[in-house]
Structure 1
Amino acid sequence: MRILLVGGTGLVGSAIHARLSTEGHECVLVSRHPDAAPDTQHVTLDVARTTDASKWKGILAGVDAVINAAGALQGQDMQGVHVAGSAALYTACESAGVRRVILFSAIGIDRDAPTDFSRTKREGEAALMACDLDWVVLRAFRGGGPARLWGQRTTARSGITTGSTGHARHGSYSTGISR
Protein backbone atom coordinates (compact mmCIF):
# COMPACT_ATOMS: atom_id res chain seq x y z
CA MET A 1 0.00 0.00 0.00
CA ARG A 2 1.25 3.52 -0.80
CA ILE A 3 0.72 5.77 2.24
CA LEU A 4 1.18 9.52 2.53
CA LEU A 5 2.53 10.16 6.01
CA VAL A 6 2.13 13.83 6.94
CA GLY A 7 4.45 14.77 9.78
CA GLY A 8 6.51 11.73 8.85
CA THR A 9 9.78 12.97 10.39
CA GLY A 10 8.33 13.84 13.80
CA LEU A 11 8.24 11.70 16.94
CA VAL A 12 5.00 9.87 16.14
CA GLY A 13 5.40 9.97 12.36
CA SER A 14 8.89 8.50 12.37
CA ALA A 15 7.73 5.59 14.54
CA ILE A 16 4.80 4.95 12.21
CA HIS A 17 7.11 5.15 9.20
CA ALA A 18 9.50 2.61 10.70
CA ARG A 19 6.70 0.14 11.35
CA LEU A 20 4.97 0.55 8.00
CA SER A 21 8.27 0.22 6.14
CA THR A 22 9.10 -3.05 7.89
CA GLU A 23 5.66 -4.34 6.87
CA GLY A 24 6.47 -3.58 3.23
CA HIS A 25 4.35 -0.47 2.72
CA GLU A 26 5.59 2.35 0.54
CA CYS A 27 5.56 5.58 2.52
CA VAL A 28 5.79 9.09 1.13
CA LEU A 29 6.80 11.39 3.97
CA VAL A 30 5.63 14.99 4.16
CA SER A 31 7.43 17.39 6.48
CA ARG A 32 9.40 20.61 6.72
CA HIS A 33 12.59 18.65 7.43
CA PRO A 34 13.96 16.73 4.43
CA ASP A 35 17.30 16.12 6.16
CA ALA A 36 15.51 14.08 8.81
CA ALA A 37 14.39 11.55 6.19
CA PRO A 38 17.41 10.45 4.16
CA ASP A 39 16.85 7.62 1.69
CA THR A 40 13.07 8.05 1.75
CA GLN A 41 10.44 9.43 -0.55
CA HIS A 42 9.98 12.89 0.91
CA VAL A 43 7.95 15.97 0.04
CA THR A 44 9.14 19.14 1.73
CA LEU A 45 6.02 21.06 2.69
CA ASP A 46 4.81 23.29 5.52
CA VAL A 47 1.29 22.09 6.35
CA ALA A 48 0.43 25.43 7.97
CA ARG A 49 1.07 27.22 4.68
CA THR A 50 -0.59 24.64 2.43
CA THR A 51 -4.18 25.74 2.94
CA ASP A 52 -5.29 25.42 -0.68
CA ALA A 53 -6.55 21.91 -1.48
CA SER A 54 -5.18 22.15 -5.02
CA LYS A 55 -1.63 22.26 -3.60
CA TRP A 56 -2.13 18.75 -2.21
CA LYS A 57 -3.47 17.28 -5.46
CA GLY A 58 -0.15 16.23 -7.02
CA ILE A 59 1.14 14.92 -3.70
CA LEU A 60 -1.85 12.58 -3.43
CA ALA A 61 -1.35 11.03 -6.88
CA GLY A 62 -1.11 7.25 -6.51
CA VAL A 63 -1.69 7.33 -2.74
CA ASP A 64 -3.94 4.68 -1.20
CA ALA A 65 -4.22 6.14 2.31
CA VAL A 66 -3.16 9.14 4.40
CA ILE A 67 -1.90 9.29 7.97
CA ASN A 68 -1.81 12.80 9.42
CA ALA A 69 0.64 12.87 12.31
CA ALA A 70 1.52 16.55 11.87
CA GLY A 71 1.41 18.64 15.01
CA ALA A 72 2.32 22.07 16.29
CA LEU A 73 3.15 23.18 19.80
CA GLN A 74 3.23 26.46 21.69
CA GLY A 75 4.87 29.18 19.63
CA GLN A 76 4.09 27.43 16.34
CA ASP A 77 1.16 27.90 13.95
CA MET A 78 -1.32 25.52 15.56
CA GLN A 79 -4.29 26.91 13.61
CA GLY A 80 -2.42 26.43 10.34
CA VAL A 81 -1.18 22.89 11.06
CA HIS A 82 -4.10 21.40 12.99
CA VAL A 83 -6.96 23.11 11.15
CA ALA A 84 -6.39 25.06 7.92
CA GLY A 85 -3.65 22.96 6.32
CA SER A 86 -5.17 19.69 7.47
CA ALA A 87 -8.66 20.68 6.26
CA ALA A 88 -7.17 21.43 2.84
CA LEU A 89 -5.56 17.98 2.85
CA TYR A 90 -8.89 16.29 3.66
CA THR A 91 -10.71 18.23 0.95
CA ALA A 92 -8.00 17.17 -1.51
CA CYS A 93 -8.40 13.55 -0.38
CA GLU A 94 -12.12 13.74 -1.19
CA SER A 95 -11.37 15.16 -4.66
CA ALA A 96 -8.60 12.65 -5.37
CA GLY A 97 -10.59 9.65 -4.17
CA VAL A 98 -8.19 8.84 -1.33
CA ARG A 99 -10.77 7.46 1.10
CA ARG A 100 -8.68 6.19 4.04
CA VAL A 101 -7.43 8.81 6.49
CA ILE A 102 -6.08 8.40 10.00
CA LEU A 103 -5.57 11.50 12.12
CA PHE A 104 -3.35 11.44 15.18
CA SER A 105 -4.86 13.86 17.67
CA ALA A 106 -4.35 14.15 21.42
CA ILE A 107 -5.98 12.82 24.57
CA GLY A 108 -7.52 15.53 26.73
CA ILE A 109 -8.63 17.88 23.98
CA ASP A 110 -12.25 17.43 24.97
CA ARG A 111 -11.78 18.85 28.47
CA ASP A 112 -13.57 21.98 29.68
CA ALA A 113 -10.41 24.10 30.04
CA PRO A 114 -9.31 24.36 26.42
CA THR A 115 -5.91 25.62 25.42
CA ASP A 116 -5.07 26.83 21.92
CA PHE A 117 -3.60 23.38 21.34
CA SER A 118 -6.80 21.61 22.44
CA ARG A 119 -9.07 23.98 20.55
CA THR A 120 -7.17 23.61 17.27
CA LYS A 121 -6.88 19.82 17.63
CA ARG A 122 -10.67 19.64 18.16
CA GLU A 123 -11.27 21.87 15.14
CA GLY A 124 -8.94 19.67 13.07
CA GLU A 125 -10.87 16.57 14.11
CA ALA A 126 -14.14 18.26 13.18
CA ALA A 127 -12.77 19.18 9.74
CA LEU A 128 -11.95 15.52 9.08
CA MET A 129 -15.24 14.24 10.48
CA ALA A 130 -17.17 16.59 8.18
CA CYS A 131 -15.63 14.99 5.11
CA ASP A 132 -17.02 12.07 3.15
CA LEU A 133 -14.01 9.86 3.89
CA ASP A 134 -13.32 6.65 5.76
CA TRP A 135 -11.55 8.20 8.73
CA VAL A 136 -10.25 7.25 12.13
CA VAL A 137 -9.12 9.70 14.80
CA LEU A 138 -6.62 8.41 17.32
CA ARG A 139 -6.14 10.53 20.42
CA ALA A 140 -2.69 9.68 21.62
CA PHE A 141 0.08 11.03 23.76
CA ARG A 142 3.57 9.85 24.44
CA GLY A 143 3.81 7.98 27.68
CA GLY A 144 5.86 5.22 29.22
CA GLY A 145 8.99 6.00 27.26
CA PRO A 146 9.70 6.64 23.60
CA ALA A 147 8.46 3.26 22.39
CA ARG A 148 4.94 3.59 23.76
CA LEU A 149 1.87 5.66 22.96
CA TRP A 150 -1.24 5.81 25.07
CA GLY A 151 -4.34 6.15 23.01
CA GLN A 152 -8.05 6.58 22.77
CA ARG A 153 -9.70 5.64 19.52
CA THR A 154 -12.60 7.60 18.13
CA THR A 155 -14.55 5.31 15.85
CA ALA A 156 -14.53 5.87 12.15
CA ARG A 157 -17.19 8.27 10.86
CA SER A 158 -19.21 8.16 14.08
CA GLY A 159 -17.41 10.65 16.28
CA ILE A 160 -18.23 8.54 19.33
CA THR A 161 -15.39 7.52 21.61
CA THR A 162 -15.34 3.75 21.96
CA GLY A 163 -13.74 3.73 25.37
CA SER A 164 -10.92 1.56 24.07
CA THR A 165 -8.19 3.31 25.95
CA GLY A 166 -4.88 1.85 26.93
CA HIS A 167 -1.33 1.59 25.82
CA ALA A 168 0.08 0.03 22.70
CA ARG A 169 3.47 -0.43 21.18
CA HIS A 170 4.18 2.48 18.86
CA GLY A 171 3.58 0.42 15.75
CA SER A 172 0.20 -0.97 16.75
CA TYR A 173 -1.77 1.97 15.39
CA SER A 174 -0.06 1.70 12.03
CA THR A 175 -1.48 -1.75 11.31
CA GLY A 176 -5.04 -0.46 11.10
CA ILE A 177 -4.52 1.53 7.94
CA SER A 178 -3.42 -1.46 5.90
CA ARG A 179 -6.54 -3.49 6.62
Structure 2
Amino acid sequence: MSKLVTIFGGSGFVGRYIARRLAKQGWRIRVAVRRPEEALFVRPYGNVGQVVPVFCNVRDDDSVRAVTRGADVVVNCVGVLTENGRNTFQAVQEEAPERIARIAAEEGVARMVHVSAIGADPDSPSEYARTKAAGEAGVRARFPGAVILRPSIVFGQDDEFFNRFARMAARSPVLPVVGGNTRFQPVFVDDVAKAAALAVEGKAAPGIYELGGPDVNTFSVLMREMLDVILRRRLIVNVPFGLARLMASGFTVLRFLSLGLFTPPLTRDQVENLRSDNIVADGARGFAELGIQPKSMEAILPDYLWRFRPTGQYDAIKASAKNIKRSGDRASIS
Protein backbone atom coordinates (compact mmCIF):
# COMPACT_ATOMS: atom_id res chain seq x y z
CA MET A 1 0.00 0.00 0.00
CA SER A 2 1.28 3.49 -0.84
CA LYS A 3 2.39 5.69 2.04
CA LEU A 4 0.17 8.32 3.62
CA VAL A 5 0.95 12.02 4.12
CA THR A 6 -1.19 14.53 5.99
CA ILE A 7 -0.89 18.08 4.66
CA PHE A 8 -2.19 20.69 7.07
CA GLY A 9 -3.44 23.58 4.95
CA GLY A 10 -3.18 21.41 1.87
CA SER A 11 -5.81 23.39 -0.04
CA GLY A 12 -3.96 26.69 0.35
CA PHE A 13 -1.77 28.33 -2.25
CA VAL A 14 1.44 26.42 -1.42
CA GLY A 15 -0.24 23.33 0.02
CA ARG A 16 -2.18 22.49 -3.13
CA TYR A 17 1.02 22.43 -5.20
CA ILE A 18 2.63 20.11 -2.68
CA ALA A 19 -0.45 17.88 -2.75
CA ARG A 20 -0.43 17.75 -6.54
CA ARG A 21 3.26 16.77 -6.69
CA LEU A 22 2.94 14.07 -4.04
CA ALA A 23 -0.16 12.63 -5.69
CA LYS A 24 1.80 12.22 -8.93
CA GLN A 25 4.47 10.39 -6.93
CA GLY A 26 1.88 7.91 -5.67
CA TRP A 27 1.30 9.15 -2.11
CA ARG A 28 -2.08 8.87 -0.44
CA ILE A 29 -2.93 12.32 0.86
CA ARG A 30 -5.07 13.71 3.64
CA VAL A 31 -5.68 17.40 3.03
CA ALA A 32 -6.41 18.70 6.54
CA VAL A 33 -8.42 21.92 6.39
CA ARG A 34 -11.07 23.86 8.33
CA ARG A 35 -13.65 23.60 5.54
CA PRO A 36 -13.33 20.30 3.62
CA GLU A 37 -16.35 21.13 1.46
CA GLU A 38 -14.39 24.07 0.02
CA ALA A 39 -11.37 21.88 -0.75
CA LEU A 40 -13.04 19.33 -3.01
CA PHE A 41 -11.00 20.65 -5.94
CA VAL A 42 -7.97 18.71 -4.65
CA ARG A 43 -9.59 15.31 -5.27
CA PRO A 44 -8.77 15.20 -9.03
CA TYR A 45 -5.06 15.62 -8.22
CA GLY A 46 -4.91 11.83 -7.90
CA ASN A 47 -6.90 8.68 -8.57
CA VAL A 48 -10.27 8.09 -6.93
CA GLY A 49 -9.82 8.17 -3.16
CA GLN A 50 -6.12 9.05 -3.33
CA VAL A 51 -6.48 12.70 -2.23
CA VAL A 52 -9.11 13.28 0.46
CA PRO A 53 -10.01 16.58 2.19
CA VAL A 54 -10.62 16.06 5.91
CA PHE A 55 -11.67 18.42 8.69
CA CYS A 56 -9.05 19.67 11.11
CA ASN A 57 -8.81 22.53 13.57
CA VAL A 58 -5.10 23.09 14.18
CA ARG A 59 -5.94 24.84 17.46
CA ASP A 60 -7.24 21.56 18.95
CA ASP A 61 -5.17 18.55 20.05
CA ASP A 62 -7.82 15.92 19.38
CA SER A 63 -8.52 17.28 15.91
CA VAL A 64 -4.84 17.28 14.97
CA ARG A 65 -4.34 13.81 16.37
CA ALA A 66 -7.27 12.40 14.40
CA VAL A 67 -5.76 13.42 11.05
CA THR A 68 -2.18 12.58 12.08
CA ARG A 69 -2.83 9.03 13.26
CA GLY A 70 -1.57 6.49 10.71
CA ALA A 71 0.36 9.03 8.62
CA ASP A 72 3.94 8.35 7.56
CA VAL A 73 4.72 12.04 7.05
CA VAL A 74 3.10 15.34 8.00
CA VAL A 75 3.48 18.67 6.21
CA ASN A 76 2.40 21.93 7.81
CA CYS A 77 1.50 24.76 5.44
CA VAL A 78 -0.86 26.64 7.74
CA GLY A 79 -0.26 30.36 8.18
CA VAL A 80 -2.09 33.69 8.20
CA LEU A 81 -1.15 37.06 6.75
CA THR A 82 -3.68 38.90 8.91
CA GLU A 83 -5.39 37.90 12.12
CA ASN A 84 -9.08 37.03 12.06
CA GLY A 85 -11.04 36.06 15.16
CA ARG A 86 -9.44 33.11 16.92
CA ASN A 87 -6.99 32.62 14.07
CA THR A 88 -4.36 34.87 15.59
CA PHE A 89 -0.66 34.84 14.74
CA GLN A 90 0.07 33.20 18.07
CA ALA A 91 -2.57 30.48 17.69
CA VAL A 92 -1.84 29.60 14.06
CA GLN A 93 1.87 30.28 13.60
CA GLU A 94 3.30 29.68 17.07
CA GLU A 95 1.10 27.20 18.91
CA ALA A 96 -0.21 25.12 15.97
CA PRO A 97 3.20 24.09 14.53
CA GLU A 98 4.38 23.02 17.98
CA ARG A 99 1.14 21.06 18.47
CA ILE A 100 1.47 19.31 15.11
CA ALA A 101 5.13 18.45 15.78
CA ARG A 102 4.40 17.14 19.28
CA ILE A 103 1.50 14.96 18.19
CA ALA A 104 3.39 13.74 15.11
CA ALA A 105 6.23 12.58 17.37
CA GLU A 106 3.79 10.90 19.77
CA GLU A 107 2.07 9.09 16.88
CA GLY A 108 5.36 7.77 15.49
CA VAL A 109 5.31 9.80 12.27
CA ALA A 110 8.57 9.26 10.39
CA ARG A 111 9.12 12.76 8.94
CA MET A 112 7.81 16.29 9.24
CA VAL A 113 8.04 19.26 6.87
CA HIS A 114 7.18 22.74 8.14
CA VAL A 115 6.67 25.65 5.76
CA SER A 116 7.68 28.87 7.50
CA ALA A 117 8.92 32.13 5.92
CA ILE A 118 12.10 34.10 5.33
CA GLY A 119 12.20 36.82 7.95
CA ALA A 120 11.20 34.58 10.84
CA ASP A 121 12.92 36.38 13.72
CA PRO A 122 12.23 36.27 17.47
CA ASP A 123 13.45 39.89 17.77
CA SER A 124 11.43 41.33 14.88
CA PRO A 125 9.06 44.28 15.53
CA SER A 126 6.51 42.34 13.45
CA GLU A 127 4.37 39.84 15.35
CA TYR A 128 4.01 37.85 12.12
CA ALA A 129 7.78 37.33 11.97
CA ARG A 130 8.11 36.68 15.72
CA THR A 131 5.41 33.99 15.72
CA LYS A 132 6.94 32.38 12.63
CA ALA A 133 10.21 32.09 14.58
CA ALA A 134 8.43 30.77 17.66
CA GLY A 135 6.65 28.18 15.52
CA GLU A 136 9.96 27.00 14.11
CA ALA A 137 11.41 26.73 17.61
CA GLY A 138 8.46 24.63 18.72
CA VAL A 139 8.86 22.31 15.74
CA ARG A 140 12.59 21.83 16.35
CA ALA A 141 12.01 21.13 20.04
CA ARG A 142 9.27 18.56 19.49
CA PHE A 143 10.46 17.02 16.20
CA PRO A 144 14.26 17.58 15.90
CA GLY A 145 14.46 15.79 12.54
CA ALA A 146 12.00 18.13 10.83
CA VAL A 147 12.78 19.97 7.60
CA ILE A 148 11.85 23.66 7.80
CA LEU A 149 11.37 25.59 4.56
CA ARG A 150 11.56 29.38 4.57
CA PRO A 151 10.34 30.77 1.23
CA SER A 152 10.51 34.44 0.29
CA ILE A 153 7.47 36.01 -1.42
CA VAL A 154 5.82 33.12 -3.29
CA PHE A 155 4.45 33.75 -6.77
CA GLY A 156 2.35 31.68 -9.13
CA GLN A 157 -1.10 31.34 -10.68
CA ASP A 158 -3.10 32.13 -7.52
CA ASP A 159 -0.60 34.26 -5.61
CA GLU A 160 -1.65 37.16 -3.38
CA PHE A 161 1.27 39.35 -4.42
CA PHE A 162 1.60 40.00 -8.15
CA ASN A 163 -2.10 39.32 -8.78
CA ARG A 164 -3.07 41.86 -6.16
CA PHE A 165 -0.89 44.67 -7.51
CA ALA A 166 -1.68 43.86 -11.14
CA ARG A 167 -5.37 44.16 -10.31
CA MET A 168 -4.71 47.54 -8.67
CA ALA A 169 -2.73 48.69 -11.71
CA ALA A 170 -5.56 47.71 -14.04
CA ARG A 171 -7.94 50.00 -12.12
CA SER A 172 -5.80 52.97 -11.09
CA PRO A 173 -3.18 55.26 -12.70
CA VAL A 174 -1.23 55.23 -9.41
CA LEU A 175 0.35 52.20 -7.75
CA PRO A 176 1.21 52.85 -4.07
CA VAL A 177 3.82 50.66 -2.38
CA VAL A 178 5.07 50.60 1.20
CA GLY A 179 8.76 49.88 1.56
CA GLY A 180 9.69 50.55 -2.05
CA ASN A 181 13.39 50.04 -1.28
CA THR A 182 12.88 46.78 0.61
CA ARG A 183 14.42 43.85 -1.27
CA PHE A 184 12.58 40.65 -2.12
CA GLN A 185 13.61 37.36 -3.72
CA PRO A 186 10.35 35.97 -5.18
CA VAL A 187 10.17 32.19 -5.48
CA PHE A 188 7.94 30.16 -7.79
CA VAL A 189 5.36 28.15 -5.85
CA ASP A 190 6.09 24.86 -7.63
CA ASP A 191 9.78 25.19 -6.76
CA VAL A 192 8.76 25.36 -3.10
CA ALA A 193 6.58 22.29 -3.70
CA LYS A 194 9.56 20.46 -5.21
CA ALA A 195 11.59 21.17 -2.08
CA ALA A 196 8.77 19.97 0.15
CA ALA A 197 8.33 16.79 -1.90
CA LEU A 198 12.04 15.98 -1.56
CA ALA A 199 11.75 16.41 2.21
CA VAL A 200 8.66 14.20 2.34
CA GLU A 201 10.57 11.50 0.47
CA GLY A 202 13.43 11.75 2.97
CA LYS A 203 15.81 13.22 0.39
CA ALA A 204 16.57 16.41 2.32
CA ALA A 205 18.67 16.56 5.47
CA PRO A 206 16.90 17.91 8.57
CA GLY A 207 17.19 21.61 9.29
CA ILE A 208 16.31 24.98 7.80
CA TYR A 209 16.35 25.84 4.09
CA GLU A 210 15.82 29.39 2.85
CA LEU A 211 14.16 29.42 -0.55
CA GLY A 212 14.53 32.38 -2.90
CA GLY A 213 14.34 32.62 -6.68
CA PRO A 214 17.11 33.82 -9.00
CA ASP A 215 15.87 37.44 -9.01
CA VAL A 216 16.58 39.87 -6.15
CA ASN A 217 15.04 43.32 -6.51
CA THR A 218 13.44 46.10 -4.52
CA PHE A 219 9.68 46.25 -4.14
CA SER A 220 9.53 49.20 -6.57
CA VAL A 221 11.57 47.39 -9.23
CA LEU A 222 9.37 44.30 -8.91
CA MET A 223 6.34 46.49 -9.54
CA ARG A 224 7.96 47.98 -12.66
CA GLU A 225 8.69 44.48 -13.94
CA MET A 226 5.09 43.47 -13.26
CA LEU A 227 3.84 46.55 -15.14
CA ASP A 228 6.02 45.59 -18.12
CA VAL A 229 4.36 42.18 -18.19
CA ILE A 230 0.82 43.60 -18.14
CA LEU A 231 1.75 46.32 -20.66
CA ARG A 232 0.67 49.24 -18.49
CA ARG A 233 2.29 52.52 -17.48
CA ARG A 234 1.57 53.55 -13.93
CA LEU A 235 3.04 56.00 -11.43
CA ILE A 236 4.67 54.00 -8.61
CA VAL A 237 4.44 55.97 -5.36
CA ASN A 238 6.60 54.90 -2.40
CA VAL A 239 4.48 55.54 0.71
CA PRO A 240 6.64 56.58 3.72
CA PHE A 241 6.50 54.19 6.66
CA GLY A 242 5.11 56.85 9.00
CA LEU A 243 2.21 57.62 6.68
CA ALA A 244 1.67 53.89 6.08
CA ARG A 245 1.30 53.31 9.83
CA LEU A 246 -1.32 56.06 10.05
CA MET A 247 -3.21 54.55 7.10
CA ALA A 248 -3.06 51.09 8.65
CA SER A 249 -4.41 52.45 11.95
CA GLY A 250 -7.30 54.03 10.08
CA PHE A 251 -8.06 50.75 8.34
CA THR A 252 -8.08 49.00 11.72
CA VAL A 253 -10.68 51.47 13.02
CA LEU A 254 -12.81 50.90 9.92
CA ARG A 255 -12.65 47.16 10.47
CA PHE A 256 -13.78 47.60 14.07
CA LEU A 257 -16.65 49.90 13.11
CA SER A 258 -17.77 47.46 10.39
CA LEU A 259 -17.80 44.59 12.91
CA GLY A 260 -15.14 42.79 10.88
CA LEU A 261 -16.87 43.10 7.51
CA PHE A 262 -14.17 45.44 6.17
CA THR A 263 -10.90 43.73 5.27
CA PRO A 264 -7.95 46.10 5.76
CA PRO A 265 -5.68 46.33 2.68
CA LEU A 266 -2.80 47.11 5.04
CA THR A 267 -2.09 46.46 8.74
CA ARG A 268 0.43 47.98 11.14
CA ASP A 269 2.12 44.60 11.47
CA GLN A 270 2.55 44.37 7.69
CA VAL A 271 4.11 47.83 7.70
CA GLU A 272 6.64 46.67 10.29
CA ASN A 273 7.35 43.52 8.28
CA LEU A 274 8.01 45.56 5.14
CA ARG A 275 10.89 47.36 6.85
CA SER A 276 13.13 44.29 6.54
CA ASP A 277 14.59 42.71 3.40
CA ASN A 278 13.02 39.38 2.45
CA ILE A 279 15.99 37.59 0.90
CA VAL A 280 18.06 34.46 1.51
CA ALA A 281 20.70 35.03 4.19
CA ASP A 282 24.38 34.62 3.36
CA GLY A 283 25.50 31.06 4.04
CA ALA A 284 21.96 29.67 4.41
CA ARG A 285 21.12 26.31 2.90
CA GLY A 286 18.68 26.54 0.03
CA PHE A 287 17.79 25.28 -3.42
CA ALA A 288 21.41 24.48 -4.31
CA GLU A 289 21.66 21.94 -1.49
CA LEU A 290 18.41 20.37 -2.70
CA GLY A 291 19.56 20.16 -6.32
CA ILE A 292 16.77 22.46 -7.55
CA GLN A 293 17.25 25.21 -10.14
CA PRO A 294 14.53 27.78 -9.32
CA LYS A 295 12.57 29.39 -12.13
CA SER A 296 12.72 33.12 -12.83
CA MET A 297 9.80 35.54 -12.73
CA GLU A 298 10.35 36.27 -16.41
CA ALA A 299 9.59 32.64 -17.25
CA ILE A 300 6.38 32.47 -15.21
CA LEU A 301 4.64 35.84 -14.78
CA PRO A 302 3.36 36.19 -18.39
CA ASP A 303 1.60 32.81 -18.07
CA TYR A 304 -0.94 34.17 -15.59
CA LEU A 305 -0.74 37.98 -15.51
CA TRP A 306 -1.83 38.35 -19.16
CA ARG A 307 -5.42 38.79 -18.01
CA PHE A 308 -4.50 42.20 -16.56
CA ARG A 309 -3.30 43.55 -19.92
CA PRO A 310 -5.47 46.22 -21.60
CA THR A 311 -7.03 43.66 -23.95
CA GLY A 312 -6.12 40.52 -22.05
CA GLN A 313 -5.22 37.51 -24.17
CA TYR A 314 -5.65 39.50 -27.38
CA ASP A 315 -2.66 41.79 -26.76
CA ALA A 316 -0.27 39.22 -28.23
CA ILE A 317 -2.53 38.78 -31.29
CA LYS A 318 -2.70 42.55 -31.81
CA ALA A 319 1.08 42.85 -31.56
CA SER A 320 1.51 40.08 -34.15
CA ALA A 321 -0.98 41.79 -36.46
CA LYS A 322 0.93 45.06 -36.21
CA ASN A 323 4.19 43.29 -37.04
CA ILE A 324 2.60 41.66 -40.08
CA LYS A 325 1.22 45.02 -41.22
CA ARG A 326 4.62 46.71 -40.85
CA SER A 327 6.29 43.89 -42.81
CA GLY A 328 3.67 44.26 -45.55
CA ASP A 329 4.16 48.01 -45.70
CA ARG A 330 7.94 47.63 -46.04
CA ALA A 331 7.46 45.06 -48.79
CA SER A 332 5.15 47.43 -50.71
CA ILE A 333 7.64 50.29 -50.45
CA SER A 334 10.52 48.17 -51.72
| TM-score clears 0.5 | yes
Distance 1:91 1:137 in 2: 15
Q: Secondary structure at the match of 2:109?
A: coil
> 56-65 or 122-131, which moves further after superposition?
56-65
Instruction: State the structure with more CA Rg.
Output: 2
Are the counterparts in 2 of residues 94 and 133 from structure 1 also a CA contact under 8 Å? no
Change (3 A) 1:35 1:176: same
Q: Which one has a larger percent helix, Structure 1 or Structure 2?
A: 2
Are the counterparts in 2 of residues 125 and 137 from structure 1 also a CA contact under 8 Å? yes
Q: Secondary structure at the match of 2:5?
A: strand
Q: Secondary structure at the match of 1:122?
A: helix
Mark the runs of 5 or more structure 1 residues left unpaired by the alignment.
149-164
Change (3 A) 1:109 1:98: same
> Does 1 or 2 have the higher relative contact order (CA < 8 Å, sep 6+)?
1
TM normalised by structure 1 equals: 0.78
Provide the residue aligned with 1:171 in structure 2.
193
TM-fit CA distance, 1:108? 1.5
Identity %: 28
Correspondences of 1:48-127 after superposition (within 5 Å): 49-50=59-60, 52=61, 54-76=62-84, 77-110=88-121, 113-127=124-138
Provide the residue aligned with 1:154 in structure 2.
none
Distance 1:28 1:88 in 2: 18
Distance 1:27 1:121 in 2: 25
Are the counterparts in 2 of residues 2 and 63 from structure 1 also a CA contact under 8 Å? yes
Specify which of 142, 147, 150 is matched with residue 139 of structure 1: 150
Provide the residue aligned with 1:130 in structure 2.
141
Change (3 A) 1:60 1:111: closer
Change (3 A) 1:132 1:7: closer
Are the counterparts in 2 of residues 90 and 128 from structure 1 also a CA contact under 8 Å? yes
Number of residue pairs matched by the alignment? 160
Q: Which one has a larger percent strand, Structure 1 or Structure 2?
A: 1
Distance 2:102 2:154 in 1: 32
TM normalised by structure 2 equals: 0.44
Change (3 A) 1:144 1:57: closer
Distance 2:139 2:125 in 1: 20
Distance 1:82 1:43 in 2: 20
Provide the residue aligned with 1:157 in structure 2.
none
Mark the runs of 5 or more structure 2 residues left unpaired by the alignment.
44-50, 160-184, 203-334
Which consecutive aligned stretches of 4+ in structure 1 deviate over 2 angstroms post-superposition? 54-58, 110-114, 141-148, 165-171
Are the counterparts in 2 of residues 13 and 69 from structure 1 also a CA contact under 8 Å? yes
Q: Secondary structure at the match of 1:130?
A: helix
